[in-house]
Structure formats: structure tokens, C-alpha cells
Amino acid sequence: MAITADAKKQLQKLAASLDGLPGGTRLYDYLEWIDDQISHPDPLFRKKYLPLIRKEKAAREADHPFLTVITRTQGKRPEMLRETLLCLSAQTDTDFELLLIGHKLTDEGHELVEQILSEQPASFRAQIRFIELNEGKRATPLNVGFARAHGDYVAILDDDDLVFDDWVEGFHKAAEGNEGSILHAQVLTQTWRTFTADETPGALISVGSYGTEYCVDFEPIQQMESNHCPLNGLAFPVFFFHKLGLIFDETLTTTEDWDFFMRTSFLSGVTDVGHPTCIYRLWENTDNSYVVHKRWEWQENYDLIQDKYAAMPVLLPRDCEKNFRIYVNAQPEHKPVHILAKEFVSHFVPKPIWNRMKKAYRAAGGKVFLG
């Protein structure tokens, strides 16, 4: 995904035409912000992940699939991991590699993962790189995976979720003509349980029909308010991690995926696949992040992410709804604030306006709704 000669000429022409651009303009703010992203990447990126990217350079040039799939595991859910790997082994489009990252594995967990890998067909096993990692929080394996990725795109598939056989194919087709854009597939939800079968715990069974709450196209305004895009429905262009140093925030203990997704989307844009290609499983009787982390922790991380949005100029895409309404849940009834955008194309939301919007809905004690 290198910049073409024509694109370089356009950038040079733009630079010449913007000579003398006043420093008080929104355009100046935006270009200055992009320059800062390029010139001053996260210190953790420079210290830890840039060396990994450089180390993988030769291997990346020799082995260059379309997609790198990152799967984190702690070796505690063997049957779930088996099902996830089964889904990947049955893909109609095999132009991908899998980075299976064992995060803080116990001896027993390591043995289980090695056993499961030995069960895979030889052709599929050749697509898997098993990486052991014994440090960091939730986001650390993701950053390591992105740094070591050989693909143009990176998708994250947790070891308890399922994908259909056209998951990779859907991303690949959506990328045609949209290179560098985040790819967004619709996602089904389904409730599952674990149970004991033949005196062996860990068997899996679905206990509900499919939910379609995530079977919608990407809506940037709604997505800034809360996350409506499960991680297994996204494929990220690796360019923004490798070249601009946009990494997962390792200080966040929850919602690190939402934070990374939105910060990247402000630069890359999002292309919809247009149909469901995977299932986000909702577990009734096993631990998950909603149980492990306290409510105050979720709120603290949410506030930190919202503060990030407020500190950057946000470029909204040309295909945003031309007319949209934001409803602030104030008092017992919704009070509408109408924002009409009849000629709404690539519009900047200025920082002061975003700050006022943010304060308004927080003061109201409610949410932002799109109608």
C-alpha cells in the first residue's frame, strides 16, 4: 500500500498551494495534528514495537498475505479455541496467516495449546505462527501481533468467537478499490453455555437464536458515543500501525479495541462488507470482561477515550447521513437538538463544539441517540 507517484505529485501540489495557510484555521489544525502523529509517535511504539516491525521486514517481504489474523489465548478454553481454529481452517479464501499468541500461559495451558496445534491439518498448520508472550495487559498481545504481522490487513479473532467460511473472503472483496480503509463486516450475536458432557467439563452449546443488533453498517457519530462494532467484524490496515505508530493504548483495562478502532478510523475511513460474516458469542456461565472489570473501571476508561476524541479534530466521511438528529436524554423526556447538514461532505467537527456536546450529554446524565 505504498503511495503512488500520482499521489506524491498531488501531495507536493497541495503543499505548494497551502503555503502561507493561516494558523487559526481548522484545516491548519487538522494538518498540524496529522504531522504530529507522524513526527511524534507514541514513545512505547518507538521503544518496543518499531524494532519488532524492522525485525520482521525481511520475512514480511518474502511472505506477504492479504490478512494477518491475531488470536489471543491463555489456554483456558480448549474447546472454544478448537472451534475458532476449525472456522479458520475452512475459509474459502486462504490468503491469510494466523498469529496465535499465548498470553501468560501456565505449563498446563501451554501443553493444551501445543496439543490443539498438533491436531490441525498440515496445510493449515503451515499458516500458523505460535508466539508466547509473558508480559503486559490485554492490549499488549495485540500490539505485538500488529508489529509482527506480515499482512496488509490485520483482523482480531478471540479464541471464543466463530466466523463463517467467507469471513476472509468478505474482507478481501471489500478491500478491492478501498485499500487502506478499515473493513467492517456485520456481526451476529448468540448466547452460549458451557456444560459437562460424559463427565468432561467445557463442552459448548448454543441456547438462543441469532441476534442482529450489530447487523448494521458503520455509523461514525453513533460509534463515537459507544461501541457498536464487535472486534471480530473488523480488519485494520496495518499501515497506520507500522508507519504512523498508532498502537493500542496499554493503559486501558477495557475498551482498548473501541479506542484503537476510532482513532484509526479518523484517518483511514471505514468500508462496509455489507453482510454478516461472523458470530460474537455471549456466554451465560463463564467469565467475561463485563464480569471481571468493575463498573467504575468501565466508566473511567470511557471518559479517557472521550477525552481523546475531544483533543483531536474529527474528520467525518462524505457518506455520513445528510440530515441527522442528536437527542439528548435530559430529564424524563428526550429534548431534540437538530443539526442539519444538507451539504455535509468531509466536515470537521471543531474541538470547542465537540467539547460542548460532550459536556451537554454528561450533564444530562444520559446518552446521545441518533434519530
In this structure, is residue 134 part of a structural domain? yes
**Same-domain status, 337 and 292:** no
Give residues with Cβ within 8 angstroms of 152, minimum separation 6: 1, 64, 66, 67, 175, 179, 237, 238, 239
Q: How far apart are CA 352 and CA 349, in angstroms?
A: 9
Of 221, 246, 255, give the one whose Cα is nearest residue 326.
221
**pLDDT winner (highest mean) among 53-57, 221-225, 309-313:** 53-57
Q: What interhelical angle do 295-310 and 256-268 show, nearest 10?
A: 20
**Are 115 and 85 spatial neighbours (Cβ–Cβ below 8 Å)?**
no
**Are 14 and 6 spatial neighbours (Cβ–Cβ below 8 Å)?**
no
Determine phi and psi for 212, rounding to 5 degrees.
Answer: -120, 20
Total-model pTM: 0.83
Residue 92 is placed in which grid cell?
474459502
In this structure, is residue 2 part of a structural domain? no
Predicted local distance difference test score (pLDDT) of residue 366: 45
**Same-domain status, 225 and 160:** yes
Predicted local distance difference test score (pLDDT) of residue 334: 40
In this structure, is residue 70 part of a structural domain? yes
More confident residue, 337 or 349: 349
**Same-domain status, 163 and 306:** yes
**Are 260 and 140 spatial neighbours (Cβ–Cβ below 8 Å)?**
no
In this structure, is residue 237 part of a structural domain? yes
**Same-domain status, 217 and 357:** no
In this structure, is residue 235 part of a structural domain? yes
Q: How far apart are CA 185 and CA 235, in angstroms?
A: 9
pLDDT at 22 over 70: yes
Task: Label the pairing between strands 153-156 and 234-237.
Answer: antiparallel
Q: How far apart are CA 247 and CA 237, in angstroms?
A: 12
Predicted local distance difference test score (pLDDT) of residue 113: 97
More confident residue, 305 or 176: 176
Report, as an integer, the average pLDDT of 6-10.
74
Predicted local distance difference test score (pLDDT) of residue 343: 30
**Are 165 and 278 spatial neighbours (Cβ–Cβ below 8 Å)?**
no
**Same-domain status, 179 and 261:** yes
Check residue 340 and report its DSSP letter. E
321 alpha-carbon distance from chain centroid: 23
Burial class (CB within 10 angstroms; exposed 0-12, middle 13-18, buried 19+) of 235: buried
In this structure, is residue 28 part of a structural domain? no
Predicted local distance difference test score (pLDDT) of residue 314: 74
| pLDDT tens digits, 212-256 | 999 999 988 788 888 999 999 999 999 999 999 999 999 998 999
Q: Residue 29: what residue type?
A: D
pLDDT at 139 over 80: yes
% residues pLDDT > 70 (the chain):
81
Predicted local distance difference test score (pLDDT) of residue 289: 60
In this structure, is residue 6 part of a structural domain? no
Last residue of a domain, one of 279, 297, 313: 313
Q: How far apart are CA 122 and CA 345, in angstroms?
A: 50
pLDDT confidence of 288, banded at 50, 70, 90? low
Q: How far apart are CA 364 and CA 173, in angstroms?
A: 43
**Same-domain status, 345 and 211:** no
pLDDT at 39 over 80: no
**Same-domain status, 332 and 303:** no
Which H/E stretch holds residue 253? Answer: none
Report, as an integer, the average pLDDT of 79-102.
97
Last residue of a domain, one of 313, 339, 360: 313
Last residue of a domain, one of 296, 313, 330: 313
Predicted local distance difference test score (pLDDT) of residue 360: 56
Give residues with Cβ within 8 angstroms of 235, minimum separation 6: 67, 153, 154, 155, 171, 175, 182, 183
| pLDDT tens digits, 176-216 | 999 999 999 999 999 999 988 887 778 899 999 999 999 99
Residue 131 is placed in which grid cell?
508466539
**Same-domain status, 188 and 261:** yes
**Same-domain status, 106 and 198:** yes
Predicted local distance difference test score (pLDDT) of residue 322: 45
Task: Label the pairing between strands 348-349 and 314-315.
Answer: antiparallel
**pLDDT winner (highest mean) among 3-7, 251-255, 269-273:** 269-273
CATH number of the domain enclosing 90: 3.90.550.10
Report, as an integer, the average pLDDT of 151-164.
97
**Same-domain status, 162 and 244:** yes
In this structure, is residue 279 part of a structural domain? yes
Domain limits for position 346: 316-370
**Same-domain status, 307 and 167:** yes
**Same-domain status, 99 and 167:** yes
Q: How far apart are CA 81 and CA 102, in angstroms?
A: 12
Question: How many domains would you assign to the chain?
Answer: 2
